[in-house]
């Protein structure tokens, strides 16, 4: 029932976001033709008003009525509430995309999607643990065969490159991350814990790219030079939220950012092959040169 209501709330938000000001009849008509309405129900005024109140309560999105000449027009009064809440925005974007794809199910063979590895089955109990500050017990094994069995205290979850990760506190107070698709078993416990008041998940990852992050790290100024078509790609999809373009020429563009260079960031740079060059910091430039040399040796040794 909760899942059904959530879909209805997201549908109503998405409908008003797209349609701007709409009458109740226009909204009800769209509901009649919506793929979410799989039971062919009608949207009564009472249900509509209840949905509006629930959306304000759960999402902080206010749907107001403007009374015109013989018409009551409904709209989202504070659209910034969607943009400012990353979770709501992500959910809305995902829902809108899902609606679009379901509306084109007849040509599903022409729509190719990326699969997300298993692990979503653990997401629901982990989110419940985060809501109620409850401990969970996990059995875990990474790709190298290293195992972990014990009770952990979830701090947050993060989606990165099609995998869900959970950041936790273990018994000694150390922070560790676990990929959900490598969890063998998970039990939501009745025991609760006091969530660390000084910990903020966004702040924890602020100076990092990817999932690897740690406390008390000092970000560095990183400058990369992008060649060929890569400048346009980096302008549309920045490597990091601190990225800024500092030099532009006909042949290349330089981008600066402030972050801690990690394995994840180095991997991202290598994805762009010879279209990117690290200019600064020198330590990162040296590390990239070592990686390229090791790769060269691998290919020379196998010729």
Dist CA 269 CA 239 (whole Å): 9
Confidence (pLDDT) at 130:
93
CB 140 within 8 A of CB 203: no
Q: Residues spanned by CATH 1.10.10.10 within the chain?
A: 2-107
Q: What fold does the segment set 220-301 form as a domain?
A: Alpha-Beta Plaits (3.30.70)
Confidence (pLDDT) at 129:
93
- Angle in degrees, CA 197, 124, 7, rounded to 5: 110
Confidence (pLDDT) at 200:
92
CATH number for 2-107 (one of 3.10.20.440, 3.40.50.970, 1.10.10.10, 3.30.465.10): it is 1.10.10.10
Q: Which of residues 78 and 101 earns the better pLDDT score?
A: 78
Confidence (pLDDT) at 3:
63
Dist CA 30 CA 79 (whole Å): 21
Segment 277-300 mean pLDDT: 93
Q: Residues spanned by CATH 3.30.70 within the chain?
A: 220-301
CB 271 within 8 A of CB 220: no
CB 10 within 8 A of CB 95: yes
Cα pseudo-dihedral 285, 289, 291, 292, rounded to 10: 130
Q: Is residue 135 scored above 60 in pLDDT?
A: yes
Dist CA 72 CA 22 (whole Å): 8
Residue-wise pLDDT tens digits, 55-78: 898 888 899 998 876 788 999 999
Segment 162-173 mean pLDDT: 91
Q: Is residue 138 scored above 90 in pLDDT?
A: yes
Q: What fold does the segment set 120-196 form as a domain?
A: SH3 type barrels. (2.30.30)
Q: Is residue 233 scored above 70 in pLDDT?
A: yes
Choose among 175, 174, 256: nearest CA to 211.
175
Segment 117-128 mean pLDDT: 82
Q: Is residue 2 scored above 60 in pLDDT?
A: no
Confidence (pLDDT) at 51:
92
> What SS3 state is found at 303?
coil
Choose among 301, 239, 291, 240: nearest CA to 270.
291
pLDDT grade for 133, boundaries at 50, 70 and 90: very high
Residue-wise pLDDT tens digits, 13-71: 888 988 888 999 999 999 988 877 777 888 899 999 999 999 898 888 899 998 876 78
Confidence (pLDDT) at 137:
97
Dist CA 212 CA 262 (whole Å): 7
Confidence (pLDDT) at 303:
57
Q: Residues spanned by CATH 2.30.30.520 within the chain?
A: 120-196
Choose among 153, 226, 138, 248: nearest CA to 183.
138
């Amino acid at each position: 029932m909760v899942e059904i209501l959530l879909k209805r709330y997201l549908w109503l938000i998405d409908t008003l976001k797209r349609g701007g000001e709409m009458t109740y009849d226009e909204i009800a008509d769209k509901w009649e033709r919506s793929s979410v309405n799989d039971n062919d129900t009608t949207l009564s005024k009472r249900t509509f008003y209840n949905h509006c109140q629930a959306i304000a309560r759960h999402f902080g999105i206010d749907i107001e009525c403007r009374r015109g000449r013989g018409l009551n027009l409904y709209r989202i009064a504070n659209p910034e509430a969607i943009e400012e809440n990353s979770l709501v925005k992500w959910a809305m974007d995902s829902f809108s995309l899902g609606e679009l794809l379901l509306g084109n199910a007849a040509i599903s063979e022409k729509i190719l999607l990326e699969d997300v590895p298993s692990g979503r089955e653990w997401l629901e109990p982990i989110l419940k643990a985060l809501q109620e500050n409850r401990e969970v017990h996990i059995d875990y094994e990474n790709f190298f065969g290293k195992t972990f069995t014990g009770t952990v205290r979830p701090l947050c979850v993060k989606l990165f490159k099609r995998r869900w990760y959970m950041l936790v506190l273990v018994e000694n107070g150390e922070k560790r991350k676990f990929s959900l698709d490598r969890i063998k078993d998970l039990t939501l416990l009745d025991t609760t814990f006091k969530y660390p008041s000084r910990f903020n998940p966004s702040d924890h990852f602020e100076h990092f790219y990817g999932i690897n992050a740690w406390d008390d790290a000092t970000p560095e100024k990183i400058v990369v030079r992008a060649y060929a078509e890569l400048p346009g790609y980096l302008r549309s999809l920045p490597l990091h939220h601190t990225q800024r373009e500092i030099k532009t020429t006909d042949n290349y563009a330089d981008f600066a950012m402030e972050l801690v260079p990690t394995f994840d960031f180095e991997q991202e740079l290598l994805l762009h092959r010879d279209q990117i060059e690290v200019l600064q910091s020198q330590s990162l430039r040296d590390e990239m040169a070592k990686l390229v040399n090791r790769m060269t040796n691998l290919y020379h040794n196998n010729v």
